[in-house]
Amino acid sequence: MSSSDDRTRDRASAAQSRARAHWRVAVTILGVNSALYLTLIVLIAYAKPFLGRLIAPGLSLAILFGAIVTVCAWLLTLVYVRWANAFDNAQGRT
């Protein structure tokens, strides 16, 4: 087999391995993000009194949960950047 065929095969297998790794990370990050966000939205829709409970004067569960979802969305983007940069560096790509 020619070296050009080898290279094409290597590239295809590298693409497949990154695609699989990417899919695992994507499902995890989007799973956590959606679970947090959709839980908040469903609670907003159906459990208003629960979210209205005060955990300190002026601080309701709704505000706390809203802030947590906001901060977690940002942290999840950082997790992805870290994963993607580490994976691509390990594969010797820019």
Partner 1 sequence: MATTIGEPNAIAISFFLAFIGLALAIAIWAARKTRSTEHFYAAGRAVTARQNGLALAGDFMSAAAFLGNSGLIALYGYDGYIYCVGGIAGWPIVMVLIAEALRKIGRYTFVDVVAFRLPHPSVRITAALGSLMVILFYLTVQMVGAGNLIRYLFGLPYEFAIFVVGLILLAAVLLGGMIATTWVQIVKAVLLLSGASVLGVLALARFGFSPATLFDAAAARSSTAVLAPGGLLSDPIDAISLGLGLMLGTAGLPHVLMRFYTVPDAKTARTSVAYATGLIGFFYLLTFVLGYGASAIVGREQIVAVDPGGNMAAPMLAELVGGRAFMGFIAAVAFSTILAVVAGLTLAGAATLSHDLWVNVIRKGRAVEHEQLIVGRIAAVSISLLAILLGIVFKGQNISYMVGLAFAAAASANFPTLVLAIYWDKLTTAGAHASMLVGTVGTLILIVLSPAIQIDILKHATAPFPLRNPALVTVPLAFLAAVAVSLLWPDSQEDRFADLQQRLHVAAE
Residues contributing to the site for partner 1 (CB under 8 A): 11-12, 14-16, 18-19, 22, 25-26, 29-30, 33-34, 36-38, 40-42, 44-46, 48-49, 51-52, 54, 56-60, 62-63, 66-67, 69-71, 73-74, 76-78, 80-81, 84-85, 88, 93-94
Question: Which residue reads 């497949």 in tokens?
Answer: 16
Question: Which is closer to partner 1, CB of 6 or CB of 42?
Answer: 42
8 within 8 A of 52, measured Cβ to Cβ: no
Q: Of 93, 32, 92, which is closest to residue 68 (Cα–Cα)?
A: 32
Q: Which is nearer to partner 1, 1 or 46 (CB)?
A: 46
- The helix (run of H) or strand (run of E) holding residue 60 is strand 59-60
d(CA 84, CA 41): 30
Q: Report in angstroms how near the CB of residue 81 gets to partner 1 at its nearest.
A: 5
